[in-house]
Amino acid sequence: MNNPSSGHPFPDGFLWGASSAAHQIEGNNVNSDWWHREHEADSTLPEPSGDACDSYHRWREDMDLLAELGFTDYRFSIEWARIEPAPGHFSKAEIAHYRRMVEGALDRGLRPMVTLHHFTVPRWFAERGGWTAEGAIDLFERYVRATAPVIGTGVRHVRTINEPNMIALAVAFRELGTEVAPIAGIPLLDRPTTDALIRAHHRARAAVKSISADIQVGWSIANQVYQALPGAEAVTAAYSHPREDVFIEAARGDDWIGVQSYTRTRIGADGPLPAPDGAERTLTGWEYYPQALGHALRHTAGIVGDVPLIVTENGIATDDDTRRVDYTTGALQEVSAALEDGLDVRGYLHWSALDNYEWGSYKPTFGLIAVDPDTFERTPRPSAAWLGGLARTRVLPRITS
């Protein structure tokens, strides 16, 4: 049982936000590779994204709610497949759409954090061979430069690529002919894709800086929190490096790095282990383990040194909102402890703003805000008011057990 007493203050200027991604909330992202995959005759995805949360039309409502709840920052992504639906054809209307979103956020007092690429690419880009095809990085850079009217003014934080390690993992899964993770751990990532994504990030970083030197550029890594059992430290380091650390290393020289953490993977002498017997599991099947965030922050800082850290995703898929508050309290305690230990953590953005399309299914509900799939009506959960309240007071009640 948790008993709040005196609290931990978070620093001035700390980013308090919620996160989203275009394909997961906008709906009808018809020119993307994912939409195509969802509609293939032999698709193995349980359900397609369809209208999603209709945020393509309802983004104002989403931002109104987040601002009213007390958040200061909103992370959203802009969709390459909409901006460049055919090679070299850049849609002025879509660029204007995303610029309206940036201005809409600013008008509401929300600082926009813009992701340029969150898992989905234009179908034509995938069909020409994706990230490892000849000229792919040039094409990404050309798209990034075309986003200048969207991000050129008023946007402080830009993320080039979300979770490159998960993108390289998806390629590895495809090569293995599976989409199902082994009982514990994950296969080795595709190395050519890994290298291409790192090059793409560095190229995009320079392109964004040439749009505006004021923009703070980074990327976000999925932290699997590989925890070594006693004696398995070397095995764990060897396991973690190609799956995660290589991407964290590539953030040296960035303005910030995004830390995204949900659960942990324990590693023994023979490799990854399943969650402990009897562990509570969330709707994604992951072990309920809010302490993961502290490990992820410290692991990342240990690699990037003084690059500032921003928690750009952390959350829980649950149908019990009290568990969401409990989980997030535990995670924020980790952030607070990291700050007390001198880590340069600049913000916490919860995943997710809305219940959304979890890459094949709407069942895992991560949202601070529930969304009716038929009417698209938004209903903030108590956790949304609670977290928005923390954004206002910046004080997390100290928890004693």
**Is the Cβ of residue 313 or residue 326 nearer to ligand IFM in the bound state?**
313
3-state secondary structure of 161: strand
Alpha helices of 280-371 — where are they, by DSSP H? 292-304, 321-340
Choose, from 163, 244, 334, 358, the residue flagged as catalytic.
163
Residue 56 sits at the vertex; the CA angle it makes with 114 and 68, to the nearest 5 degrees, is: 70
Q: Give me the least distance between CB of 284 and ligand IFM, in Å please.
A: 6
The helix-helix angle for 55-69 and 92-107 (nearest 10°) equals 10
Applying CB under 6 A, which residues contact ligand IFM? 21, 24, 163, 260, 313, 351, 358
Q: Give me the least distance between CB of 400 and ligand IFM, in Å please.
A: 31
**Is the Cβ of residue 49 or residue 329 nearer to ligand IFM in the bound state?**
49
Helix (H) or strand (E) holding 21: none
Q: Give me the least distance between CB of 358 and ligand IFM, in Å please.
A: 5
Q: Give me the least distance between CB of 34 and ligand IFM, in Å please.
A: 11
Amino acid letter, 42: D
> Exposed e or buried b for every residue in 146-171, given b needs 16+ CB within 10 A?
bbeebbeeebbbbbbbbbbbbbbbbb
Distance CA 116, CA 221 (A): 14
163 is catalytic: yes
Q: Give me the least distance between CB of 313 and ligand IFM, in Å please.
A: 5
Q: List, in sequence order, every beta strand (DSSP E) within 187-275.
A: 216-223, 226-228, 257-261, 265-268, 271-272
Max intra-chain CA distance, the chain: 58
Distance CA 131, CA 97 (A): 27
**Is the Cβ of residue 21 or residue 83 nearer to ligand IFM in the bound state?**
21
Are the CB atoms for 95 and 83 separated by under 8 Å?
A: yes
Are the CB atoms for 223 and 292 separated by under 8 Å?
A: yes
Q: Give me the least distance between CB of 301 and ligand IFM, in Å please.
A: 20
**Residue 130 — left, alpha, or beta (φ > 0 → left; ψ -120 to 50 → alpha)?**
left
Distance CA 147, CA 215 (A): 13
**Is the Cβ of residue 49 or residue 211 nearer to ligand IFM in the bound state?**
49
Structure tokens at 292: 């993961």
Give the Cβ contact number of residue 244 at 10 Å.
23
**Is the Cβ of residue 226 or residue 351 nearer to ligand IFM in the bound state?**
351
Q: Give me the least distance between CB of 277 and ligand IFM, in Å please.
A: 24
**Is the Cβ of residue 69 or residue 354 nearer to ligand IFM in the bound state?**
354
**Is the Cβ of residue 22 or residue 232 nearer to ligand IFM in the bound state?**
22
**Is the Cβ of residue 47 or residue 341 nearer to ligand IFM in the bound state?**
47
Distance CA 171, CA 36 (A): 16
Are the CB atoms for 200 and 160 separated by under 8 Å?
A: yes
Distance CA 384, CA 401 (A): 24
If you count them, how many residues does the chain have? Answer: 401
Q: Give me the least distance between CB of 141 and ligand IFM, in Å please.
A: 23
Catalytic residue numbers, as ranges: 163
